[in-house]
């Protein structure tokens, strides 16, 4: 099949979280299955033009009141032949951020920025004389693509092109004042008809969910959770309505990038047969962050966006978060990397001063993220909700046992420890409270000091579990076939 992925992020060019990893590694897996898959993303300012090929001639994109004159660049995903196209348009993408200059300050013209990208997807295919069978879009930024297929592009050369929308995070829906609507070049009738309307504002994801032929989310448990009022972010009714076309397909991980035997960021390599390199990583991690060098103390790692979704209140909330108490009362160490909410960044800085066994770094640091995954013994991820979560899969592969809240993709990928048999791959709790988190870290610490043979067993099991994309990529192929059949009956 010919598949165009339209996305706001794709590793290694642009990434703000797991979306960038997921899009790239899925595309590579689909290509290995023999599909002709290509990716379109914006050329943000930080993507160096010099490393890209320029596609001849410009490209006009009719949107808003004018035809916007854009340029297109081309490259391939590293270690693959998957083409990546970059939409170049200074006015919208010539900035330092993907969605905003910081996590809490998004660009006010994001509806225009991503509408241009969505509309450009069609112009690009025309320019390439390559009409895809599937347009696969991701989250709210590219949710207009399925709407265009149902409206402006219904009777064009795209009449046999079907759409699939993957929801990576229902918590972000792209809600904007309706004054932006005319820019999309759709009739006002579509404001209601295509499902944009949301409390008198525009909801891009809602329109995408309404229009797409098929929908997916990134884990089976999350696909069920988002159909309930407590986790549905006001769209659970619509998702229940579309439940026959919605599947949960677990993300895989890029096993070339995340492999302890070859990881280029690590000071030493290791495998399930020989963990000596992991001990070196632990030592280097302790040195890097200024923790006391000690191979015997259990080291807990955290790598995360510092947002409410990730359980930061339960971990760091001043006066009630679990982690300061853990550091005060237990013989453990903590290594933290993250960026996001300001109060939490400040708290992490303060805890690093207060405790010798707690060291945190604020910022985005790919190398340190890999080192924490490899050098830690346990990985803490108490997410309030987690559509899939990649970090716990990375940590399993690196023999770093996750401590997680039983939700979404965490519930689908981690198996709880059984202290009678040593079965399991991690430590889970059901209620997201500081107390439950404190106790579960205590449980892992107890196992470390008293049941080292179980830890070894769990590590073995975790490291040998298959998290590759192959199975999931086949499930996407089946979903594409379904979407194509639906498109056929839609256009008649």
Q: Cβ of residue 10: shortest distance to ligand GLC, in angstroms?
A: 12
d(CA 48, CA 433): 44
Nearest residue relative to ligand ADP (C-beta): 18
Nearer Cβ to ligand GLC, position 174 or 387?
387
Nearer Cβ to ligand GLC, position 222 or 448?
222
Indicate whether 170 belongs to the interface with ligand ADP (CB under 6 A). no
CA 244 to chain CA centroid, Å, is 24
Nearer Cβ to ligand GLC, position 190 or 386?
386
Note the residue count of the chain: 492
Residue 369, binding choice from ligand GLC, ligand ADP, none, Cβ under 5 to 8 Å by partner class: ligand ADP
Indicate whether 248 belongs to the interface with ligand ADP (CB under 6 A). no
Quick one: tokens of 103?
Answer: 């996590």
Residue 218, binding choice from ligand ADP, ligand GLC, none, Cβ under 5 to 8 Å by partner class: ligand GLC
Q: Annotate each residue in 390-429 with x if it binds ligand ADP (CB under 6 A) or - if it does not, as one string.
A: xx--------------------------------------
For ligand ADP, which residue of 366, 430, 456, 470 counts as binding (CB under 6 A)? 366
Nearest residue relative to ligand GLC (C-beta): 18
Q: Cβ of residue 336: shortest distance to ligand ADP, in angstroms?
A: 9
Within 286-305, which residues bind ligand ADP (CB under 6 A)?
303-305
d(CA 227, CA 243): 8
Question: Which residues are at the interface with ligand GLC (CB under 6 A)?
Answer: 17-19, 22, 168-169, 218, 251, 386-390, 409
- Look up tokens 């899009």; give the residue: 23
Indicate whether 17 belongs to the interface with ligand ADP (CB under 6 A). yes
Q: Cβ of residue 380: shortest distance to ligand ADP, in angstroms?
A: 13
Write the secondary structure of 323-351 as one string of H (helix), E (strand) and C (coil).
HHHHHHHCCCEEEEEEEECHHHHHHHHHH
How is residue 181 annotated by DSSP? G
Q: Which pairs count as long-range contacts for 409-412, CB under 8 Å and 24+ apart, including other chains?
A: 409/218, 409/219, 409/221, 409/222, 409/250, 409/251, 410/381, 410/383, 410/386, 411/221, 412/219, 412/220, 412/221, 412/250, 412/388
Residue 111, binding choice from ligand ADP, ligand GLC, none, Cβ under 5 to 8 Å by partner class: none
In DSSP terms, which residues pair with 61 in a beta bridge?
68
User: Is beta strand 59-63 parallel, antiparallel or unpaired with respect to 175-177?
Assistant: unpaired
Nearer Cβ to ligand GLC, position 22 or 134?
22
Nearest CA among 83, 54, 84 for reference residue 70: 54
d(CA 152, CA 188): 13
CB 248 within 8 A of CB 221: yes
Within 63-122, which residues bind ligand ADP (CB under 6 A)?
none
Nearer Cβ to ligand GLC, position 184 or 394?
394
Nearer Cβ to ligand ADP, position 70 or 169?
169
Q: Please give the residue ranges that form the binding site for ligand ADP (CB under 6 A).
A: 17-19, 21, 303-305, 337-339, 364-366, 369, 388-391
């Amino acid at each position: 099949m010919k598949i165009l992925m339209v996305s706001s992020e794709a590793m290694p060019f642009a990434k703000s979280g797991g979306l960038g990893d997921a899009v790239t590694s899925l595309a590579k897996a689909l290509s290995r299955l023999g599909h002709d898959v290509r990716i379109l993303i914006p050329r943000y300012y930080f993507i160096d033009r010099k490393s890209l090929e320029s596609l001849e001639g410009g490209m006009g994109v009719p949107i808003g009141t004018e035809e916007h004159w854009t340029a297109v660049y081309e490259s391939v995903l590293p270690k693959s032949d998957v083409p990546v196209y970059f939409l170049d348009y200074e006015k919208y993408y010539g900035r330092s951020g993907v969605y905003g200059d910081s996590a809490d300050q998004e660009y006010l013209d994001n509806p225009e920025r991503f509408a241009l990208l969505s509309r450009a997807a069609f112009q690009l295919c025309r320019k390439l004389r390559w009409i895809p069978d599937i347009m696969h879009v991701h989250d709210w930024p590219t949710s207009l693509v399925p709407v265009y297929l149902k409206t402006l592009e219904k009777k064009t050369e795209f009449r046999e092109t079907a759409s699939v929308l993957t929801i990576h995070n229902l918590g972000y829906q792209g809600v904007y004042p309706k004054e932006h609507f005319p820019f999309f070049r759709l009739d006002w009738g579509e404001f209601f008809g295509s499902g944009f309307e949301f409390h008198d504002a525009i909801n891009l994801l809602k329109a995408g969910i309404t229009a797409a032929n098929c929908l997916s989310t990134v884990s089976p448990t999350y696909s069920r959770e988002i159909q309930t009022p407590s986790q549905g972010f006001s769209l659970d009714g619509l998702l229940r309505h579309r439940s026959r076309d919605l599947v949960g397909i677990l993300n895989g991980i890029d096993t070339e990038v995340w492999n302890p035997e070859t990881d280029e960021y690590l000071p030493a390599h290791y495998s399930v047969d020989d963990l000596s390199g992991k001990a070196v990583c632990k030592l280097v991690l302790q040195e890097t962050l200024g923790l006391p060098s000690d191979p015997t103390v259990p080291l807990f790692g955290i790598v995360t966006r510092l947002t409410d979704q990730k359980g930061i209140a339960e971990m760091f909330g001043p006066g009630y978060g679990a982690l300061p108490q853990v550091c005060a009362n237990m013989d453990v160490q903590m290594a933290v990397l993250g960026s996001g909410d300001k109060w939490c960044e400040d708290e992490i800085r303060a805890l690093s001063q207060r405790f010798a066994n707690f060291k945190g770094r604020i910022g985005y640091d790919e190398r340190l993220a890999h080192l924490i995954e490899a050098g830690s013994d346990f990985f803490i991820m108490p997410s309030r909700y987690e559509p899939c979560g990649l970090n716990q899969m990375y940590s399993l592969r690196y023999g770093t046992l996750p401590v997680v809240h039983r939700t979404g993709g965490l519930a689908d990928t981690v198996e709880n420890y059984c202290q009678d048999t040593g079965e399991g791959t991690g430590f889970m709790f059901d209620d997201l409270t500081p107390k439950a988190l404190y106790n579960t870290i205590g449980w892992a610490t107890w196992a470390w000091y008293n049941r080292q043979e179980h830890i070894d067993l769990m590590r073995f099991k975790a490291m040998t579990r298959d998290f590759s994309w192959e199975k999931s990529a086949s499930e996407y192929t089946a979903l594409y076939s379904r979407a194509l059949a639906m498109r056929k009956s839609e256009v008649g």
